[in-house]
Structure 1
Amino acid sequence: MILDKEVQRKLKIEPIEGSYNSYAVQEREKKDWRGNIYLACVAAILAISFFT
């Protein structure tokens, strides 16, 4: 559990049509590309070692 860092989330709040004082809250998420980059590097290394 991380206690030292304060995490700020980006929220998108929109009123719901047809209702009084109700809102839809959606969290905007950033894409985490670290896993995809790691997978691409491993695939490239395997391809190079296979074809040489």
Structure 2
Amino acid sequence: MILDKEAEIQRKLKIEPIEGSYNSYAVHEKEKRDWSGNIYLACVAAILAIAFFT
């Protein structure tokens, strides 16, 4: 939730029956990786490198 706005995220679920049980399932969730933190870190590192070498 950013600035009081909800973002709809579609989740990919993989549902598998558990062997040896009745009506029991294992749910595995696959999410897309959030790259925003890494991009921010790379930009800060680039700015610091430019400031250091100039």
Q: When the two structures are superposed, what TM-score results if normalisation uses the length of structure 2?
A: 0.73
Identity across the alignment (%): 82
Q: Deviations over 1:4-47 (max 9, x none)?
A: x6543221101111212110012111001011011101101101
Unaligned runs of 5+ in 1: none
Q: Which moved more, 1:7-16 or 1:39-48?
A: 7-16
Name 1:23's counterpart in structure 2: 25
CA distance in 1, matches of 2:8, 2:39: 27
Q: What letter corresponds to residue 34 of structure 2 in structure 1? A: D
Q: When the two structures are superposed, what TM-score results if normalisation uses the length of structure 1?
A: 0.75
CA, structure 1 residues 24+37, in 2 after alignment: closer, same or farther (shift >3 Å)? same
Count of residues in correspondence between the two structures: 50
Runs of 4+ in 1 over 6 A off after TM superposition: none
Unaligned runs of 5+ in 2: none
